[in-house]
Amino acid sequence: MKNIIKNTTLAAVVMGAVIQPAIAHRAWFLPSTTVLSGEAPWVTIDAAVSNNLFFPNHRAISPDSIKVTDPDGKPLEIQGASEGKIRTTFDLQLPQTGTYVISSGRSSFGAAWKEGEERKRWRGTLEQFKKEGLAKKPGIQLSDSTSRIVTYVTAGKPNKTALATTGKGLEIDFTHIHPNDLFSGEAATFTLLIDGKPAADTEVTIVKGNDRFRNDAGEEKIKTNAKGEFTYTWPTAGRYWLTAQVSSEQDKVEGVPFSKRASFSATFEVLPE
């Protein structure tokens, strides 16, 4: 079975997460299946933010924020989207062979300061910030944040066109492996990037799904090497959620303190060996 799957379609998902401090809420996509065959197959995907992995109990992810990239790198519309209080569900038809990327995320550049006792906030671009002369505000601080949730689904033979990195925020570069080629007992090596460069010495957390039914969530933490690489051997088959976050102070912009934050999360479906 393993050889058949490896030679035709490969299995796994990668999902992402919003920027999140030390809280229990985690964002995820969950496809009904990640390995498909046949002519123009369909997959149904859940999207939610919850305390327990893959159990909706907090809020839905807006369908308006969801984007799909087809195996040629072109956009593809989701279908049948239904947004509830705690979960969004939608369908996706895969009309061509290859790997599809389903993602949701945001990027925000902004400033914050106080005028008297009132807290002020501003959102825009660096160019707008300079043009509006906001650097003169007393105690002003700048921040740039990016977050991304993503899942990968492959129909038939996998490819990597839609997996291309953007050079913005935290991302995984699948140089060493395809996200739909993961099996229990096998080691998988990934490369974590921040703004297109290796995210060295960055902590990556991996948790197996269904933690609702365990007293211990079983989080495992791994640090990337100087090349941004990390390797993990999947102990058993199942769905795993992966997340990483980076926060750093940057050089001042227009004399204003500037901080950057980024997060990325992924759920991998691991098949039996």
What residues does 244 pair with on adjacent strands? Answer: 204, 264
In a domain, 127, yes or no: no
> Which segment of 20-24, 42-46, 106-110, 225-229 scores lowest on mean pLDDT?
20-24
Q: What is the CATH number of the domain that holds 234?
A: 2.60.40.1930
Beta-bridge mates of residue 271:
183
**Residue 252, pLDDT score:** 85
Task: Tell me the average pLDDT of the chain.
Answer: 89
- The residues pairing with 144 across neighbouring beta strands, listed in sequence order, are 260
Provide the pLDDT for residue 1. Answer: 41
More confidently predicted of 179 and 132? 179
In a domain, 203, yes or no: yes
Which pLDDT score, from 0 to 100, does residue 156 have?
95
Q: Which domain holds residue 81?
A: 2-106+145-249+262-270
Report the predicted TM-score, pTM, of the whole model to 2 decimal places: 0.84
SS3 211: helix
Please say if the pLDDT value at position 18 is more than 50: no
Higher pLDDT, 100 or 215: 100
The helix or strand, by DSSP H or E, that contains position 150, with its residue range, turns out to be strand 141-155
- Is residue 127 scored above 60 in pLDDT? yes
Residues in the chain, total:
273
| Region 235-257 average pLDDT | 90
Is 165 contained in some domain?
yes
Output the DSSP codes for 103-118: EEEEEEEEEEEEETTE
Pairing relationship of beta strands 79-83 and 88-93 according to DSSP bridges:
antiparallel
Look up residue 28 and give its two tokens: 């995820």
The pLDDT of residue 20: 37
Across 42-46, 63-67, 100-104, 115-119, least confident range: 115-119
Answer whether residue 177 shows pLDDT above 80: yes
Q: 141 forms bridges with which residues in the sheet?
A: 112
Residue 113 lies in a domain: no
What is the tally of structural domains in the chain? Answer: 1
Residue 61's contacts (CB-CB under 8 Å, 6 or more residues apart) are 27, 29, 47, 48, 49, 88, 104, 149
Look at 77-81, 109-113, 214-218, 245-249 and tell me which has the smallest mean pLDDT: 214-218
**What is the pLDDT confidence band of residue 254, given thresholds at 50, 70 and 90?**
confident
Residue 46, in any domain of the structure: yes
Contact 153, 13 (CB under 8 A): yes
Evaluate whether residue 140 is within a structural domain: no
Tens of pLDDT, residue by residue over 32-54, are: 999 899 999 999 999 999 999 99
